[in-house]
Structure 1
Amino acid sequence: MTTTTEFTFATAPGALPILGHAPHLMRDPLGFLASLPAHGDLVAIRLGPQHAYVPCHPELLRQLLADDRTYDKGGLFYDRLRDMFGDGLATCPQAHHRRQRRALQPAFRTASLRNYIGGMEKETDALISPWHDGHTFEAFPSFRHLSMRTVMRTLFGTLCTDARATAVQAAVNPLLAGLVPRTVLPEIVTRLPLPSNLRYTKALDELPAVVDRLVEDFRHARPEEATLMSLMLDARDEDGRPLSARELRDQVVTLLVSGTETTASALTWAFLLLAENPQVRDQLEEEVDRSLGDGPAHLAQLPIVRRVLLETLRMRPSAWLFTRVTRTRVTLAGHVLESGATLFLSPHPIQSRPDLFDWPERFAPDRWVPEHGAALPHSSSFVSFGHGARKCIGDEYSLLESALALAAVSARWRLEVEPGSDTRPVSTATPLRPRSLRLRVTARHGASA
């Protein structure tokens, strides 16, 4: 297959002996990725002895994402993800994707999403009800616990408990901590008997066991309420076959991990950006206050809330790095890639381009106002949820959950950044999160809120 040659190809400068560009990527991931479009539309980088190619033009990236036969899920990142997810929807090769997507799609249609709103509201209320004036908390762990509880309630209904959520999170954390290092560092480093490597190996055994117990308990209890797990157990593919026990486990792990971490990341960055931009925060609070009479569920539909989330994901994409592998020899941007070549895909080189977004370093939710017409960012320049057949199946679920939480918190509380926070991104984290963001709570409508 031969693709267009109108795009330019370049090799990123600054590769170090043996390690290549890995230190740059791990020291300042967003800064390094944002620097690549200045060199070309397709930029080669080196990670240890391996080469990878980063698409830095929006049309080139979407071309790759749309052709999932040629550019299949695989490569260094997905090899590690499959350690956790198996062959779930997010990680399975193209040959298995269509069957899984069709079986799961009903669970994420608009009618199904409405069934999850009540659980989302209850979990958010459980998080914020104990807050008081002057209360402080570390943002990402708190929002991660909220998201884990919310996804587990969506999946398992009343079988969701703090103990079960804690057990899942304890198994997930070492795996996510080891994901990026295992993607960018030489394999010999990941095989050393280091504490982090030992924790990773132990968690690989623990996570499937925890999830299998959850699924088995649900099968026995089978609650009456509408849950995502019920829909998955009843799902049939086009040949009438249900999901196998292994497929169920892989899908549950995929939803628990991806649905928890990305939403927690988005909420963490959103509250930081709002604290740094009080004029935007005032607008959001006014919108929430005007809409409170319509009930909590209505808060998910508020335009300013949604624009704040879109702008947050533009500036701080939760899924900031993933890979594809070529399944055949191709010519891309005038450069020949052999079968098995690795592509590093990231929204950030696209979503930080000044020719696509005026003042890209500026937090400007109003750039998403529909009335802006031609000035509205083109769909090809926003790929935080991916594109094409492999676009995130839970994109609207994630936005719904994030919007409800953002609006519910903002209706009662104002969050300010505590001194001493270190808001630089953790370079080895999946998804993207600050090193430390401690927030202080102030009641918006009197001390009792």
Structure 2
Amino acid sequence: MARHPRTIPVAPGRWALLGHTPALWRDTLGFLRSLPETGRIVRVDLGRLPVYFLTCPDLVHRILVTDAHEVDKGRIFQRIRPLLGNGLPNSEGEFHRRQRRLIQPVFHPARIASYATVMERHARALADSWHAGQVVAVDQTMNELALTTVVRTMFSRGLTATTVEEIKHCLPVLTGGILVRAFTPSLLDALPMSPNHRFDTAAKRLRAIIDALVTQYRRDAGGATHHDDLLSLLLNARDGSTGEAMDDTQIRDELTSFLFAGTASTGITLSWVFHELAHHPQAERRVRAEADEVTRTRAAGYDDLSSLAYTDRVLQETCRLRSVLLIMRRTSGPVTLDGVRLPPGVNLAFSPYSLHRDPRLFPRPGRFDPDRWLSGPGAPPRQAFIPFGAGSRKCIGDAFSWTEMSLTVATIAARWRLVPVPGHRVREVAAALVRPDALPMVVTPWGKQGG
């Protein structure tokens, strides 16, 4: 017989009225990592809002795949819908399935191969721009590289330098404030505070920029047919059943979502890759040797991805250690998890960051060990590693991001080492994706010291 939700254990550290908010605020990462000690499902109160955290991969798989039809996106995505609109990350039901069918060809391997030329070109230009001894803010540089790359794959024409700079200005304001906006009551949005003003102004400006580009592409006869950038492909996309195209508002929403998904996660992960390599010289030498083999006579390209096997494992291990902090869902129908029957409207959550550091799933979880991803009996369980989600909600641009990160690491590692600035301590910051607080590094040529 199914149990009642009140039988679910409550996380330690709950305050009256405030719930677990103080504990989360004081040590977000430590609090999330501690939840598996309490149970497979743990109740966490965000103020007066009960949220049931799933701490085991089989339960997460249930809500993402097996019972996904009984689960919707929930509160966070309702709060960010005014910014991202009804793009793939926010849409639901049949509309989401239709949009995914329309957009899937945009990320076909043949398309990714064409985008890879843009990725490699920008990575090579970045490596060429550095000089020995230069101190680089790697976190900022990688975010800017990811943004530039995704913008240039989205819009092959119509972009002025001023427009690109405006996008570069708007996006960090929005990515920095979106998690706060998602978790705060909507009544606070209208308060005349400078963070609200900056966020709302940046959101309005970004929408206006994308709207203007969509209008320009529409107006430019033939432009939507003869270009292979993301915007042109979306303009040409047709529903296989009805022949319908997306309207301009929907295209704007999808492009805004691509900007967010293709910039922050890629830039942050690349930053952590170079941080980890700098602290693990053997891994750094192996990445360099692999990249040197591939780039001996030419730049790394899409066809070289299969030759970058160790680099691929480095990316997997980096994504394991620095993951998405928190994902929320809400039951839209009755769901039974671990013998507990949850009615519609219950808030669920899980932390990929915590899941990927669970010692039951990943022995010595704090250790950076790319070879843990070698196939064999000791490899991590498949369902335990979800850097891009799973099921019908899995990130549609995962191959795009992985290709960009692989080519960027190979291109830079073949030319340079990035060495930590002496005396600087890098700290993890709890954000949508766990990021470094600051990552200054010294550009260093390969030589005796580099192996």
TM-score, structure 2 normalization: 0.91
Pair 232,189 (structure 1): closer, same or farther in 2 beyond 3 Å:
closer
Identity %: 36
The 2-side partners of 1:163 and 1:126 are apart by: 20
Q: Give the CA deviation at 1:144.
A: 1.1
**Is 1:47 paired with 2:46?**
yes
* Cα contact 1:45–1:51 (8 A) shared by 2: yes
1:32-83 residue CA offsets vs partner (Å, 9 max, x unmatched): 21111111111111112211111110010011101322111122x2123312
Task: Give the 3-state SS of the residue equivalent to 1:423 in structure 2.
Answer: coil
Q: Give the CA deviation at 1:160.
A: 4.4
RMSD (CA atoms): 2.2
- Hey, what does 2:117 align to over in structure 1? 118
Q: What is the number of residues matched between the two proteins?
A: 438
Q: Give the CA deviation at 1:306.
A: 0.6
Q: Give the CA deviation at 1:10.
A: 2.0
Structure 2 residue identity aligned to 1:87? N
**Is 1:345 paired with 2:350?**
yes
Q: Give the CA deviation at 1:4.
A: 10
Residues 399-438 of structure 1 mapped to structure 2, 5 A cutoff: 399-419=402-422, 421-427=424-430, 429-438=431-440
* Cα contact 2:416–2:443 (8 A) shared by 1: yes
Structure 1 residue identity aligned to 2:433? P
- Hey, what does 1:360 align to over in structure 2? 365
- Hey, what does 2:335 align to over in structure 1? 330
Q: Give the CA deviation at 1:175.
A: 2.3
**Is 1:312 paired with 2:311?**
no
The 1-side partners of 2:101 and 2:22 are apart by: 41
The 2-side partners of 1:268 and 1:284 are apart by: 15
The 2-side partners of 1:243 and 1:27 are apart by: 45
- Hey, what does 2:17 align to over in structure 1? 18
**Is 1:273 paired with 2:304?**
no
1:334-382 residue CA offsets vs partner (Å, 9 max, x unmatched): 3343322211232122211111111011010001112xx1211121010
The answer for unaligned runs of 5 or more in structure 2 is none
* Cα contact 1:74–1:93 (8 A) shared by 2: no
The 1-side partners of 2:181 and 2:370 are apart by: 35
Task: Give the 3-state SS of the residue equivalent to 1:10 in structure 2.
Answer: coil
- Hey, what does 1:29 align to over in structure 2? 28
The 2-side partners of 1:259 and 1:72 are apart by: 23
Task: Give the 3-state SS of the residue equivalent to 1:248 in structure 2.
Answer: helix
**Is 1:393 paired with 2:396?**
yes
Moved more, 222-231 or 387-396: 222-231
Task: Give the 3-state SS of the residue equivalent to 1:125 in structure 2.
Answer: helix
1:298-357 residue CA offsets vs partner (Å, 9 max, x unmatched): 44330011110011011101x322211110233323334332221123212221111111
Pair 437,326 (structure 1): closer, same or farther in 2 beyond 3 Å:
same
The counterpart of 2:236, out of the listed 234, 237, 253, is: 234
- Hey, what does 1:97 align to over in structure 2? 96
* Cα contact 2:328–2:350 (8 A) shared by 1: yes
1:422-445 residue CA offsets vs partner (Å, 9 max, x unmatched): 422222x33321111111111226
The counterpart of 2:252, out of the listed 229, 233, 249, is: 249
Pair 247,188 (structure 1): closer, same or farther in 2 beyond 3 Å:
closer
- Hey, what does 2:68 align to over in structure 1? 68
The answer for unaligned runs of 5 or more in structure 1 is none
Moved more, 272-281 or 321-330: 321-330
* Cα contact 1:9–1:334 (8 A) shared by 2: no
